Each structure stands twice: as structure tokens, then as C-alpha cells.
A and B are shown apart, each in its own frame.
Chain A
């Protein structure tokens, strides 16, 4: 899962929610909702083949936080 980068999260938020965010923006405060997460997840899967569990979005909250959590989830497996 480590191929998912902060930039990819930022790109997918731009694509699905039409919002420009930076690495440390809380994407939910910026207007991302469950359906946007659904779309974002589908995009990441298309780009990398990896299906990211939903809770890392809600737990990580910022693009950087999300990438950190993906790494942590991965390390724990």
C-alpha cells in the first residue's frame, strides 16, 4: 500500500470534490463526505490497484495523515 502518496490523495480530492487542499488540510472540513470518499477510493484503486479501507480517510483526516495511516495499517499486517 505504500505506493499511495500525499499527492495522489490531494489529486483525488480535487477530482471528486473539486476542492484544492494541501497536505495538512482536514479534507472533511473542506467538504469531503462519505460519497466523495467512495469515489476517491475508486480512483486510488484505478491508479494503484489498491483498495484503501474507508476508515483511514476518517482517521487520517488530512492527505498526510491518511498516507501515514495507510503506512501504519500496512506495517501492522
Chain B
């Protein structure tokens, strides 16, 4: 098996300034299962093929989520206090017990419909505020409009509070990126996390007092009130949904804009109505692969891709690589706006598959629809600045000029 010392997969800088796509394509061809080491002793296996990534996602018994799903500082597998109490780091049976109420309270049909309306309203407001000739940083001025409505509905809060919450979670995920935080980054991380927890706790207390259960936080609050869920579990999962919801789709939206700018002929198909926004959305999700990988720990020997990964190893599942696998996608390295039967795996698979996938898809599709209808368009006017992260693929700065729609797709 290929062993890579000082692997670039550890390097946030490589993802911000290098070409991780090519590196992963080479691994896919030459060493689909490989081992990556860092000087301090941390090591992980990397799965790059779609079939292997999928197999790992659905093997909940051999691969555990409880030791963290991000490659992190500590190289000794260690659970932390959220393990088993927060969706993303819970194994069975705890996972199912938490997922049921979160899904019922936050991700049911009624919620989805309300989220859809609110997101569309917010996107329209953001776009309507822009005139031909304006130059703005899309990642700051428009992109936050996507998750904003989700927070408003799930947490039952106004746009101002939703904006504050967005800023704090942004600091939590992007804390290594100087564009997001000033001063000492770890300090900002813990302060931001506590602020979010404080805020969610206040909301829970309000809902317990009022008895309202008509949104996700209300539903969790009533479970706390009845003793069916501990306060800690409610808090941790409120945090999980807030972070999962906020730190993903704005990046997807920014990359949708750069993709449209680079693929104007294909975009014309969506504008003309020849390509459905739903079909285009699936390809945008594949192409952008906002969450690049997730991590597991093998709690038994795990056979994959003709190799055996020994018990007690970190294993990383590279969504961004699986989404360019030549065995699954024709012309994998091309954006194909009307790609049929799209097997993109941007949301993962199995029991941890993104609980927000329907919401995220709705956000992105609504954005695509509103852009296609708009009589204006975004033209990228400066090289975008990529996020310093190997975990989230996104932009921290995207300078665009608002032009007439006809100027982009003549």
C-alpha cells in the first residue's frame, strides 16, 4: 500500500492554493486506498473510489463516528464528551434515538415548505438589492442569504438573530482561516462555540416557558421539559444543526457562481428552461463537493478495495474524490449541467447521511432558479480567495460585478 509521509491531505494551505483534485485523481488511479502520515505520528487511511467510500459509509459496525469526523490535532483515538450525544459523533443505538426527534421536529414536510418560502424571500431580497454596475463580495453579501431562512424557521428567530448565529458558527468552522477571525484563533473558536450554546440554551428556555413546539428548537425543548431528552443532548444537537446548516451552502452558492461564470454556454440551458434547475442542482452539488471528506475510526479490521485496514485506524472517506470517479461518472472532470442519473455523494450515505440534504438541495435549487429568472447576472472580476481548510471547500472572498443577464449569456 502506498504510504505518504507529510501528506498534502493534511494541509489547509494545499486546499487553498494547490490542486487537491489532481492529487486525489492520481491516488484514485494509482493507489485508491493509501496511508497518510504526519510528522507527529498522526496517520489515516484515505479512500478515494466512489464504491469504497460508499462501502465505508454504510458499514456502521466496523467504522465508528464517535472519535470525531474531522482529522484533528490528537493522534490517539479519543472520544470527547459529545460522543454518543451529538448526531455527527454518535454510533448506534444512540444515533437513532437522537435522529428521530431531530428529523421529526426539523426536517418534516411542513418545515421544508416553510423553509423553502423563507429562503426564496431572502434570496430575492439579496438579489433585488443589487444594480447593474455594483461590485460586491458575493461570499459576504449574497451567500449568507441561503442558510439564513433555514435558521429563521428551524430556530424560530428573526433575521437579525439568524445573522449573529451565522457569524458565530462561521468563526467555529473557519477558525484556522484568518479571513474569518482576528487575533488568537483558538480563543475565537471556543468563545464562538460558547456564544452559540448560550444562545440555543436561551431559546430552549423560552420555548419551555411558552410551550411552543412548532419548530425544531421548540420540539427539542418540549422533550427536555418532559424529561425524554437531556438538556445537554438538545443543546449539542441544536449546535450540530446550526453548524451543519450554516457552514456549507454559502460555500456551495459561491462556487455555483464561479462555475456559471466559467460555463456560460451550459448555463444558458438553465436560463432557457432546456435544463431543469433540479438536474443542474445535482451537478452543482457533485461539482462543488462542499464537504470534502469525513473521518471514521475502524473498531474492527475493515476490508475495502482489496486491502485490509487494521482495527484502531483512522479512515477518511473522500467525497470530493468519489464525486470525480471515472468508474461512476462519464467525463468526470467536466461540469455537465444536464448530467443524467447523477450518483453524486456530496451528502454521504448510510445512517449519517446529511440530515439537512433535502434542505440544502432546496436552498441550492432555489438559488439556481432565482438566478436563472433574474434579469441581471454575476461576473467574476477577480480571482476568488479559497478557504484555508481541507474539510470545507469554499470561498472567503468572491468579487463579482453585477451585469445585465444578456451580457453573460448573449
Chain A interface (Cβ within 8 Å of chain B)?
33-35, 37-38, 41, 53-55, 57-59
Contacts and interface: CB of A to CB of B under 8 A. Distances in A.
A34 B201 contact: no
B198 A33 contact: no
B236 A35 contact: yes
A33 B186 contact: no
Contact of A33 (B81, B187, B188, B195): B81
Nearest to B183: A55
Given A34-B81, A35-B232, A54 B201 contact: no
Given A54-B193, A58-B186, A38 B198 contact: yes
A-B complex: 5 closest residue pairs judged by Cβ atoms: A33-B81, A54-B194, A55-B187, A54-B190, A54-B191
Contacts of A55: 184, 186-188, 190-191
Interface in B148-194: 184, 186-188, 190-191, 193-194
Interface string B364-377: 00000000000000
Contacts of A54: 190-191, 193-195
B263 interface: no
Contacts of A38: 194, 197-198, 201, 235
Contacts of B59: none
Contact of B197 (A34, A57, A58, A59): A34
A7 B236 CA distance: 29
Contact of B191 (A33, A35, A53): A53
B167 to A, nearest CB: 16
Nearest to A54: B194
Contacts of B198: 38
B80 interface: yes
Contacts of B193: 34, 54
26 contacts: A33-B82, A34-B81, A34-B190, A34-B193, A34-B197, A35-B81, A35-B197, A35-B232, A35-B235, A35-B236, A37-B194, A38-B198, A53-B187, A53-B191, A53-B194, A54-B191, A54-B193, A54-B195, A55-B184, A55-B186, A55-B190, A57-B190, A58-B186, A58-B187, A58-B190, A59-B187
A28 to B, nearest CB: 10
Given A33-B81, A34-B81, A35-B232, A41 B194 contact: yes
B73 to A, nearest CB: 13
Contacts of A35: 81, 197, 232, 235-236
A58 B192 CA distance: 13
Interface in B66-112: 80-82
Nearest to A37: B194
Q: Which of B184, B190, B194, B198 has the most CB of A within 10 A?
A: B194
Most buried by A among B184, B186, B197: B197
B228 to A, nearest CB: 19
Contacts of A58: 186-187, 190
Contacts of B201: 38
Contacts of A41: 194
A66 to B, nearest CB: 13
Contacts of B191: 53-55
A53 B191 CA distance: 6
Interface string B214-250: 0000000000000000001001100000000000000
A33 B86 CA distance: 14
A26 to B, nearest CB: 15
Given A55-B186, A58-B187, 16 more contacts: A33-B80, A33-B82, A34-B81, A34-B193, A34-B194, A35-B232, A35-B236, A38-B198, A38-B201, A38-B235, A41-B194, A53-B187, A54-B193, A54-B195, A58-B186, A59-B187
A7 to B, nearest CB: 23
A40 to B, nearest CB: 10
A76 to B, nearest CB: 12
A53 B184 CA distance: 13
Contacts of B232: 35
Please indicate which of the listed interface residues A38, A54, A57 has the most CB atoms of chain B within 10 Å of its own CB.
A54
Nearest to B197: A38
B265 to A, nearest CB: 50
A35 B186 CA distance: 17
B287 to A, nearest CB: 35
Nearest to B192: A54
